[in-house]
Amino acid sequence: MPKHLISRLMGKFAAARAGWFTQAFIRWFIRQYKIDMSEAIEESPQAYKTFNDFFTRRLKPELRPLKADDNELAHPVDGSVSQLGEIKDGRIFQAKGHDYSLQELLGGSEEDAKPFMNGDFATIYLAPKDYHRIHMPCDGVLKKMIYVPGDLYSVNPLTAANVPNLFARNERVVAIFDTEVGPMSMVLVGATIVASIGTVWSGTVTPPTGGRIQSWSYPASGPAAIHLKKGEEMGHFKLGSTVVLTFAKDAIEFDDDLEPRSTTRMGEVMAKIKAETKESDD
């Protein structure tokens, strides 16, 4: 399949004001994926002039309260856990029989990967029915953003179990932050039909796409520094995909109830900040 072509064509349709056709497609999508529109600020499908408007719909704030306290990290998205655990010898577990390179995931730089060696990761899959805005699990200051070109394979659980190196193979946007728990990366992974990946500080990152890795660095302080609070929006998918988070060694401890296939809800507790991390930060 010409995955890039199909995805970009879908992107053009998703951004178009196609009148009755857009409305019919939105209604079909709601029925097909059993989407609860009562959660949306705009409950009526007619409120959305494009499919992108509908897909990135905002939810009623009271339905996703920030439950994580000062010593906890919040889930960044609605979705389900694909995998989580320790980054072992620079490798991240994908599925039985498959792992991939941390360094490759982050764009190939040894310097960018080093702070996360032997740390922890969480991979969260966003299904079509899910809310597709991405939020901060903790307070952070943006250090670097990297665009990595790649394939556009599907990232559903079946594909993750069968396609080697999937998340380090697909097109992606990497955001690296300095946070209260140390360095943290959030990797927004593209997929088949994913029409766009964007961030709040730069707008749409892709498309357009390119054939080479691109990176942008940001100041740690001053008026140009980008500070984001826990629970604040950091990006979005237009047609959904996967977020991979990485943390430094001994920085966090995932919630005891969190395991593969666990449902996640933005704002709920994802992990505890280890006491020594909090003390060193203080």
* Catalytic site positions: 78, 135, 241
Q: Are 144 and 216 in contact (CB under 8 A)?
A: yes
Q: Are 234 and 134 in contact (CB under 8 A)?
A: yes
DSSP SS3 for 53: helix
- Residue type for position 4: H
Structure letter (DSSP) for residue 235: E
DSSP SS3 for 113: helix
**Helix ranges (DSSP H) in 60-194:** 102-105, 110-113, 157-162
State in Å, rounded, how far the first CA of the chain is from the last one.
52
C-alpha 225/C-alpha 203 separation (Å) is 16
- Alpha carbon 177 to its chain centroid, in Å, reads 14
C-alpha 151/C-alpha 259 separation (Å) is 28
Q: Are 172 and 188 in contact (CB under 8 A)?
A: yes
Neighbouring CB atoms inside 10 A of 139's CB total 17
- Alpha carbon 188 to its chain centroid, in Å, reads 4
For residue 112, report the phi and psi dihedrals to the nearest 5 degrees.
-70, -35
